[in-house]
Amino acid sequence: MPYQIAQDTYIFQSCIWQTNSCVILNEAANIIIDPCYFPVEIQVIEDFVSRRKSFNKYIIFTHSDFDHIVGYQYFKGAKLLGHGEMARCDREAQVLQAREIDQTYYINRKTPFLFPELDLTFASDFRVPLKGDELALFHAPGHTADSIFIVSTAKRVLFAGDYLSDLEFPFIYFDSGAYSRTLELAEKIVRDFQIEIVVPGHGELAKGREEIFERINNDKEYLANLLENAQDLCFQGLQEKEITEVLKGIKYRNEPIEGSMLKMHEENIRLILKEIQSF
């Protein structure tokens, strides 16, 4: 069952990765953000949305990672909206990852997943007018090059894609500098639009200013720690292997990073070291 967070605004959470799909029902347009993940879950969202007819239907992708785009084919007649950079992402890699997960867990999709062709794209920002509300979309690169933030201006909700999750530290697939600037943008958006709820791509909502800023600050702290320590160690002339060993000990929310999360942390370390070396 969906979880209602504001009038006509609903969250469906998948049982894999706690991935959040969002639905906004409105007379001007029904909006679906990142429909996912298992076919039965997507079908439930489709049934829910199709009960309320609307003039327009949009699917908005927060970014091009397969776990966020895999469900769009269930929504006939929806306009697909996302950042222009999505055209440049590695489509093949996303399709392969989705297929691998489907094979591993015997997931049967009635239509084979194809990478979406967007109907509408934008560069820096975009507005979707709704009755009594307006969605403001902003480019938010860092996690990926094509990540965006979506703001329901009337309901003061920020749909953050793969940022500000309570389950994950920053996963930097694209660029650490852009990631830091996007966290600044998040702060600005929370202030300017008086955001009260943040819906991350994975995990629990952040409710209220205090929790929202705590998440932003935790992520800023992690990035700053990673970058400053990496620069120091490089400056001291340590080898990449030694540097990696030290950086693996960086904490997130005062806890050591362990288990399957360590692999993601090591990916971040690799990317940061590559960025430093390319200067």
Nearer to Zn ion, 33 or 130 (CB): 33
Instruction: Map residues 103-132 to x or -, x wherever contact with Zn ion holds by CB under 5 A.
Output: ------------------------------
Work out how close the CB of 171 gets to Zn ion at its nearest, in angstroms, rounded to a whole number.
8
Nearer to Zn ion, 25 or 59 (CB): 59
Indicate the length of the chain as a whole number: 279
Work out how close the CB of 54 gets to Zn ion at its nearest, in angstroms, rounded to a whole number.
27
Long-range own/partner contacts, residues 47-52 (CB < 8 A, 24 or more apart): 48/2, 48/10, 48/12, 48/23, 49/23, 49/25, 49/75, 52/25
Is there a contact between 150 and 59 (Cβ–Cβ < 8 Å)? no
- Contacts of Zn ion in 144-163 (CB under 5 A): 162
Q: Does 71 bind Zn ion (CB under 5 A)?
A: no
Cα atoms in the Cβ-side hemisphere of radius 13 Å centred on 270: 9
Nearer to Zn ion, 67 or 85 (CB): 67
- Contacts of Zn ion in 218-277 (CB under 5 A): none
| DSSP string covering 107-130 | ---SS---PPPPSEEESSEEEEEE
Work out how close the CB of 115 gets to Zn ion at its nearest, in angstroms, rounded to a whole number.
16
Residues facing 133 on adjacent strands: 130
The CA-atom distances, in angstroms, between 257 and each of 134, 215, 252, 260, 261 are 39, 16, 7, 9, 6
Nearer to Zn ion, 114 or 167 (CB): 167
Number of residues in contact with Zn ion under rule CB under 5 A = 4
Work out how close the CB of 164 gets to Zn ion at its nearest, in angstroms, rounded to a whole number.
12
Which span (26-34, 46-54, 57-65, 256-264) binds Zn ion, by CB under 5 A? 57-65
Work out how close the CB of 67 gets to Zn ion at its nearest, in angstroms, rounded to a whole number.
5
Which residues have C-beta within 8 Å of that of residue 63, sequence separation ≥ 6? Answer: 82, 83, 86, 143, 144, 146, 147, 148, 161, 162
Nearer to Zn ion, 21 or 152 (CB): 21
Work out how close the CB of 102 gets to Zn ion at its nearest, in angstroms, rounded to a whole number.
16
Taking the CB of residue 31, how many other CB atoms lie within 10 A of it? 28
Work out how close the CB of 192 gets to Zn ion at its nearest, in angstroms, rounded to a whole number.
26
Instruction: Map residues 188-227 to x or -, x wherever contact with Zn ion holds by CB under 5 A.
Output: -------------x--------------------------
Among 8, 41, 67, 219, binds Zn ion (CB under 5 A): 67
Work out how close the CB of 96 gets to Zn ion at its nearest, in angstroms, rounded to a whole number.
16
Token code pair at residue 229: 């320590």
CA 89 to chain centre: 15
Token pair 């699917």 is found at 59
| DSSP string covering 141-179 | -SSSTT-EEEEETTTTEEEEESSS-SS-----SS-HHHH
- Contacts of Zn ion in 1-30 (CB under 5 A): none
Q: Residues in the site for Zn ion, rule: CB under 5 A?
A: 65, 67, 162, 201
